[in-house]
Amino acid sequence: MTSNPFRRKTAVLFSVLAIISSVLACSMPGASAPTPTNPVSAAGTSAAQTAVFQLTQSAVVPTQPPLATATLQASSTPLPPTQTPSVTPVPCNRAEFVSDVNYPDKTSVLPATSFTKTWRLQNTGSCAWNSGYTVIYVQGDRMSAPDSVPVTGGSVASGAQVDVSVPLVAPAVPGTYRGDFMLRAPDGTRFGIGPGGNSVFWVEIVVPAPTSTPTPTVTPTFLLIPSLIITIGP
């Protein structure tokens, strides 16, 4: 069976305290004359006092267990980059085709016939259109189109729609004809339809071949007149 260290320390403490009490009693007033100090006894007393101090410190101050420290470990997974939405600026001049108001593609037009083609366009740019904006012929079959025609006589705000028209004349020769057109700003900038504002819009017609007129068939009519024969005797 193992002895308890605390009990052993307590017994020693009481023994030392008894020795100190005896020493103090001898040094109090009214006590008998001092006797010569024995060096060995004095050394024992000093050692006893030191032992009492150490035992008192051991008994009063309990041993604290070491505090656990948490270690933070850095994550090796990188954070995703912050996405910044990009804003695409809207160009000043841009259009979008909405519909053919008349003469859709492959419409039949008689040879040498005058007609007016009309498109419905939308202003998808940031600038309003005024009378300085025009429709111009670009390429293909011109069909007697003028150099330019005003888009509007007023103003077409951004996002609004407008009907633009061009007078044309169908060719005299039968066939399929297409003419491409674009818009032009007052400063001379040419623009069109589509996301980039650089595509053409067009008119496409078919001039039919003339049909032959059948010649009527004439059937001759014969009129039979019976003969009258008269005989005269001698």
DSSP string, 107-160: EE--TT-EEEEEEEEEE-SSS-B-TT-EEEEEEE--TT--SEEES-SS-B-TT-
Residue 135 has pLDDT above 90, yes or no: yes
Give pLDDT, residue 56. 45
Would you state the structure tokens that stand for residue 180, as one six-digit string?
């491409």
Please report where in the chains the tokens 């260290």 appear, as a residue.
5
pLDDT mean over 63-73: 55
Token pair of 96 as six digits: 């979008």
Burial of 213 (0-12, 13-18, 19+ CB in 10 A): exposed
Q: Are 66 and 163 within 8 A, CB to CB?
A: no
Predicted pLDDT at 190: 97
Provide the whole-model pTM: 0.56
Let me know if 136 is exposed, middle or buried by CB neighbors in 10 A (0-12, 13-18, 19+).
middle
Instruction: Reply yes or no on whether the pLDDT at 207 is more than 60.
Output: yes
* Beta-bridge partner residues of 180: 139, 202
Q: Which tokens belong to 5?
A: 């260290």
- Tell me the per-residue pLDDT of 109-120, one tens digit each, with 9 for 90 and over: 999 999 999 999
pLDDT at 147: 94
Residue 211: the pLDDT is 84
Alpha-helical segments (H) within the chain: 5-27, 39-60
Q: CB of 141 within 8 A of CB of 177?
A: yes
Mean pLDDT taken over the chain = 78
The closest of 215, 203, 108, 207 to 149, measured between CA atoms, is: 203
In this prediction, residue 95 carries a pLDDT of: 98
Share of the chain above pLDDT 70, in %: 58
Residue 183 pairs with which residues in a beta bridge? 135, 191
| CA distances for 99 relative to 118, 122, 163, 173, 206, angstroms | 9, 10, 9, 28, 19
Burial level of 179, CB count in 10 A (0-12/13-18/19+)? buried
Q: What pLDDT shows up at residue 179?
A: 98
Q: Could you tell me which residues are beta bridge partners of residue 164?
A: 119
Res. 2: pLDDT tops 60: no
More confident position, 98 or 61: 98
Above 50 in pLDDT, residue 31? no
Collapsing DSSP states into helix, strand and coil, what is residue 102?
A: coil
Q: Which residue has the higher pLDDT, 90 or 50?
A: 90
Report, as an integer, the average pLDDT of 87-99. 93
